[in-house]
Amino acid sequence: MSRRDEVASRMAEAILKRLSARRIIECKDEAVARAAVRQLVLDNLALEERVDADARKLLLEHAKAIKDSGAEYRQLLGKVKEKLARERGFIL
């Protein structure tokens, strides 16, 4: 099992446990619910990775202008990721 799958499984377990404990949901088939939440988490992680890759690619295309301006790469990366995520309807 990959690291991302492992993280998604643990997150799904924790989410279901909290929702059940607070009686927000009632789970008839816990395995099916866990698999569904796990898949949602995996999809979310994949989207986040895509946003990150696109932001890095965009900054790489403008590397010379960024270097000339003296801007901080990490700050720009964060801002570009936020903008791309917002445009795509994704919350980071």
User: Domain for residue 92, yes or no?
Assistant: no
Domain span at residue 44 reads: 3-87
Q: What share of the chain is helix, strand, coil (3-state, %, to 5)?
A: 80, 0, 20
Spacing of C-alpha 10 from chain mean position = 15
- The reported pLDDT for the residue numbered 68 is 86
- The reported pLDDT for the residue numbered 65 is 86
Q: b/e string for 52-75 if b means 16 or more Cβ within 10 A?
A: beebeeebeeeeeeeeeeeeeeee
pLDDT in tens, 5-56: 999 999 999 999 999 999 999 989 999 999 999 999 999 999 999 999 999 9
Triad 74, 88, 42: Cα angle to 5°: 80
Residue 1: pLDDT band with limits 50, 70, 90: confident
User: Domain for residue 39, yes or no?
Assistant: yes
User: Domain for residue 52, yes or no?
Assistant: yes
Mean pLDDT within 77-84: 94
User: Domain for residue 73, yes or no?
Assistant: yes
What total of structural domains would you count in the chain?
Answer: 1
Query: Model's pTM, two decimal places?
Result: 0.78
User: Domain for residue 20, yes or no?
Assistant: yes
| Cβ 51 vs Cβ 80: under 8 Å | no
| Cβ 21 vs Cβ 10: under 8 Å | no
